[in-house]
Structure 1
């Protein structure tokens, strides 16, 4: 690691969305506070919980100045809405970088310094591969660092949002977009996908690092999780064929002002012909070659069985 600056030299605002996470938060927060070569402030938004999450965090914040608990916002109902709330409400003007954090992972000590090192090469946003781990001790590298494609941002995230680190100038523009589109964003289910798409659609640069920076905890209450294997494919297939996946992609294009883009107009009407044309662009719509094949098959299934 080439960065060896004092802790006060680089400031990072970490936005953490919590919901019934009391059993994991102590270990996660400890890994955040142990980040090397950066000064960390953690802003936490707690979705209405029943396990004492908010009360425990309130007590910790009394003695830990690096922890800032946002005021109660009631029931938000999803991780995406919670993260959008953090983006809307946290003042990031005093920070150099902004990162997202889930409540249940474990960050390696150089996760943020590695991200900053990459961003300082001229990028606005950063994400990475992760090492998924299970309660029984299993671990698996989840690769997301395949080469970016022309339209991948309209159909997928560049990795889990908990790996995201972004420079403050990019986030300030992202915040304005979130504030201006607040009502419409309540219908969009993936904050990480939206952030990446906003970056790519507006000419910001993004790097997907092949070096994992976090241990990505897998358990029964994961919102998305590692998402690997044939079972995950069929789960996504059912979601897409019921209309969810393409509906989200169409909403995304509208939020980004891309609905009149010729490529988008090819398929956004969701006709059989449109799905067929989209199938022919599968290589441009996903990064991983296997996912390109899956995407092609899902488009063909949508031709045969339109939602």
Structure 2
């Protein structure tokens, strides 16, 4: 049976961990192995994980170093670096619930030619009552569109061994996230990121989510407006600077070279360069907002 190495970074998640760990134990059609790291929690998170390890001997291992607080991005990347050999690698958040076929379905999509898989979310409240579905992207995620906007939610991502190596080939720039950076590196190195439209995760919205989880395009647009165009430009500039130093696939390298001239191109030039690079938001509302930011500079 195929083995999936599951990577869990916990921090004060005792309220939700039992249901998530139970959903991992109920995965069908795969052999799973859990590597976890606690980020200096002050609640019972670590105790719950040690109890889960005792209930599943030889399948669960704690990563104790580096010690202290790392935050989500560095914590997940530390787990990915330390992960043992497997057929695939899956990020797991502490507060979700996985459907029983989650890992097996991801493996099937990897077997069909994808280097990495991400997907849609079933949004639920703190008590797992349904709230709706996350929006479907209007296009398959590619390198250019991912530079505009990330649709690869880390809690849905599953990587092949090759994609794992790509994701670890360079550290992310400040302000990026492990899932966004992994998606950019996979597609930038010539790999394929597959978006699964079938939700396989109950994504719990409880008011303490680190990132993500906006249930509607309107709410996502409102949040983006609150961050403003300056924040988007800073992140694009940081990603381009980091990617410029890497041995990208020819198409991705051309995209980076094109977008490095974006800021100085003037308004008509920015729209032309944006189109040639495929710098498109995955929603129409987001794309309109992106156009406004590009025109303002």
The alpha-carbon distance between structure 1 residues 259 and 44, as it changes in their structure 2 partners (threshold 3 A), is: farther
The alpha-carbon distance between structure 1 residues 231 and 117, as it changes in their structure 2 partners (threshold 3 A), is: closer
Q: Which of 231, 236, 241 is equivalent to 1:249? A: 236
TM-superposed deviation, 1:13: 0.3
TM-superposed deviation, 1:75: 3.4
Give the length in aligned residue pairs.
Answer: 283
The equivalent of 1:163 in structure 2 is 156
On the 8 A contact 1:35/1:110 being kept in 2, the answer is: yes
TM-superposed deviation, 1:229: 4.2
On the 8 A contact 2:125/2:204 being kept in 1, the answer is: yes
The equivalent of 2:166 in structure 1 is 173
Q: Residues 231-274 of structure 1, C-alpha deviation per residue, up to 9 Å, x if partnerless?
A: 43232223233x3322222222222225993322222xx45837
Q: Residues 56-88 of structure 1, C-alpha deviation per residue, up to 9 Å, x if partnerless?
A: 322332332222111053333531121122122
**4+ long deviations beyond 6 Å:** none
Structure 1 CA distance, aligned partners of 2:62 and 2:41?
Answer: 14
**3-state SS in 2 of match to 1:55:** helix
The equivalent of 1:58 in structure 2 is 50
The equivalent of 1:121 in structure 2 is 112
The alpha-carbon distance between structure 1 residues 279 and 232, as it changes in their structure 2 partners (threshold 3 A), is: farther
On the 8 A contact 1:11/1:39 being kept in 2, the answer is: yes
On the 8 A contact 1:126/1:209 being kept in 2, the answer is: yes
On the 8 A contact 2:3/2:30 being kept in 1, the answer is: yes
2:7 aligned with 1:15, yes or no? yes
The equivalent of 1:234 in structure 2 is 222
2:122 aligned with 1:131, yes or no? yes
Give the 5 Å matches for 1:53-92: 53-65=45-57, 66-91=59-84
The equivalent of 2:204 in structure 1 is 217
TM-superposed deviation, 1:206: 1.4
- TM normalised by structure 2 equals 0.86
Structure 2 CA distance, aligned partners of 1:28 and 1:145?
Answer: 26
Where does the alignment leave 5 or more consecutive residues of structure 2 unmatched?
245-252
The alpha-carbon distance between structure 1 residues 56 and 152, as it changes in their structure 2 partners (threshold 3 A), is: same
On the 8 A contact 1:253/1:259 being kept in 2, the answer is: no
TM-superposed deviation, 1:30: 0.8
The equivalent of 1:201 in structure 2 is 188
The alpha-carbon distance between structure 1 residues 186 and 153, as it changes in their structure 2 partners (threshold 3 A), is: closer
Q: What is the RMSD computed on CA atoms of the aligned residues? A: 2.5
TM-superposed deviation, 1:22: 0.8
- TM normalised by structure 1 equals 0.83
On the 8 A contact 1:279/1:299 being kept in 2, the answer is: no
The equivalent of 2:283 in structure 1 is 288
Q: Which of 102, 106, 116 is equivalent to 2:97? A: 106
Structure 2 CA distance, aligned partners of 1:52 and 1:201?
Answer: 40
Q: Residues 157-213 of structure 1, C-alpha deviation per residue, up to 9 Å, x if partnerless?
A: 2331111111112213333x14xx3xxx36243111101100111100111011111
The alpha-carbon distance between structure 1 residues 15 and 130, as it changes in their structure 2 partners (threshold 3 A), is: same
Where does the alignment leave 5 or more consecutive residues of structure 1 unmatched?
1-8
Structure 2 CA distance, aligned partners of 1:24 and 1:240?
Answer: 33
